[in-house]
Amino acid sequence: MRPEFLSFSPPLIGEEEIEEVVKALRSGWITTGPRVDRFQSEFREFVGAESALALNSCTGAMHIALAVLGIGPGDRVVSTPMTFASTIHVIEQVGAQPVLVDVEPDTLNIDPERIEAAVRADPKIKAIMPVHIYGHPCEMDAIIDIARRHQLAVIEDAAHALPASYRGRMIGAPAGSDVTNLVAFSFYANKNLATGEGGMLTGPRELIDEARKWSLHGMSRDAHQRYTEEGSWFYEVQLPGFKYNMPDIQAAIGIHQLAKLPMMQRRRHEIVAQYDEGLTGLPGLELPVIRSGSTSSVSPSIDHDSSPSSGSGTSAPRFTSSRSTSILTTETNMALRRSSSRSRSARISGWCLCRSARNSPTATWPT
């Protein structure tokens, strides 16, 4: 028994982040400004996105994405019960109806075959919201193909998926030029890149420009564009927007967290090896897989190395983790995986399913 309490995934904050925050405080500019501009630009380059918008949460990013696409009352959005509450909340907050379909038994990601069946059965579906659970990418080729054939938008919940990649493309980069695709990230305190609170939305430039208005009361100019020497006081309120902008204090942390991300990822994989040594071969554990062509972000949950297995197209089951992880999460996931497809969704409802969606009169559950 260790003598001190083991914190769950504490952020790795160094002197660089602290000094940058102090500089922001002393600059006199602490709301959205030059550090947000820098963070957005560097993040866009890191993931290979066309454009990026820094926000105060992944929830805000998903909410704005739905608003920008005009999804609202009368529309339906396919998503997964294997997610945090906010994925489903934002669908209902724009007045649309969530359609929840089951997950793949090995990755626990949304099942493209179930998406296809739901879309064929319901012409009111306007978008797909896949969740890259625990940083393992969904089968995006299949999902993008469904969206293309049925003229749907794809909004990726990538809260766990930085840095993750799918078939050589980082999550956050465009998944298909002929499909509307937006990607939402989280920088919450326990994420791989942490700014305390924060998020990012990536996507086509014209949609991100529109999202920028939605993020700040629908205004045509933010404070930095109005109240600096190069700016102009004039602005218009062009739509009924929200208040989701990221301030420079959070961006000051994010700039240096992003620079450290490759190093932190390497450290996570070192810790992975320790879990491998301790847990490989233990009876009663059904361990997760990584699909061929995918690279996981090893988000604070469960994951494993990608050593190929014979003839299956998946990797040998091995357990890995982020900086600090809860074994209870592992046990819960293993129990879910041992259950049948139908009972798995039912059992999820008591753990990570958005209860308001489960109990909501608007949510549908295809059989």
Catalytically active residues, by annotation: 191
Task: Compute CA distances 121 → 41, 114, 125, whole Å.
Answer: 41, 11, 9
CA distance 66 to 72: 8
Contact 172, 183 (CB under 8 A): yes
Q: Amino acid identity of 119?
A: V
Q: Greatest CA separation found in the chain?
A: 67
Structure tokens of 291? 């699909």
Three-state DSSP class for residue 173: strand
CA distance 232 to 66: 30
CA distance 113 to 121: 13
Structure tokens of 249? 């204090």
Contact 101, 89 (CB under 8 A): no
Three-state DSSP class for residue 219: strand
Structure tokens of 233? 């006081």
Query: Angle between the 341-348 and 327-338 helix axes, to the nearest 10 degrees?
Result: 140
Structure tokens of 324? 């600090």
Structure tokens of 144? 């993008």
Structure tokens of 107? 């990755």
Pairing of strands 153-157, 165-166: unpaired
